[in-house]
């Protein structure tokens, strides 16, 4: 996903076709709480890992970006975060076995509505 897509759960709807959702963004510092909340929501509702990669710095419109890039597990727990407002690389291990076990023990996917997006 790209940035603003994060606000629309239907675009992230997991139909058992992914295990990690990645959102690359220019999410402003003044909406950092929303950024983190929406990332956690996408992880929980889709029973998937979520990685949010956000920019840092100030743009030509004087908008500040603090980063807060992070990885979240399918239960909404933050696994790792890039300390703000730094650029860099953070390593995180994601377990397919733990994901499969969680999905098997709590199979919410069985109750997901069928849907399709028509243009």
Q: Which tokens belong to 44?
A: 């929980």
Among 70, 81, 88, CA closest to 21: 70
Q: What is the pLDDT of residues 4-57, one digit of tens each?
A: 999 999 989 998 889 999 999 999 999 999 999 999 999 999 999 999 999 999
**Separation of alpha carbons 65 and 78, rounded Å:** 20
**Separation of alpha carbons 37 and 23, rounded Å:** 13
Residue with tokens 């733990």, as numbered in its chain: 98
3 state SS of 33: helix
Mean pLDDT of the chain: 94
Mean pLDDT calculated for residue range 54-73: 96
Tell me, yes or no, if the pTM score tops 0.75: yes
Query: How large is the C-alpha radius of gyration of the chain?
Result: 15
pLDDT of residue 113: 81
């Amino acid at each position: 996903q790209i940035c603003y897509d994060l606000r629309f759960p239907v675009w992230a709807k997991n139909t058992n076709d992914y295990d990690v959702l990645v959102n690359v963004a220019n999410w402003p510092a003044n909406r950092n709480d929303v950024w983190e909340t929406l990332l956690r929501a996408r992880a929980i509702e889709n029973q998937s890992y979520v990685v949010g990669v956000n920019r840092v710095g100030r743009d030509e419109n004087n908008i500040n970006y603090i980063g807060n890039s992070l990885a979240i597990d399918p239960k909404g727990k933050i696994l790792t975060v890039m300390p703000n407002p730094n650029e860099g690389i953070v390593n995180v291990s994601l377990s397919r076995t733990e994901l499969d076990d969680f999905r098997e023990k709590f199979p919410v996917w069985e109750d997901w509505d069928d849907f399709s997006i028509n243009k």
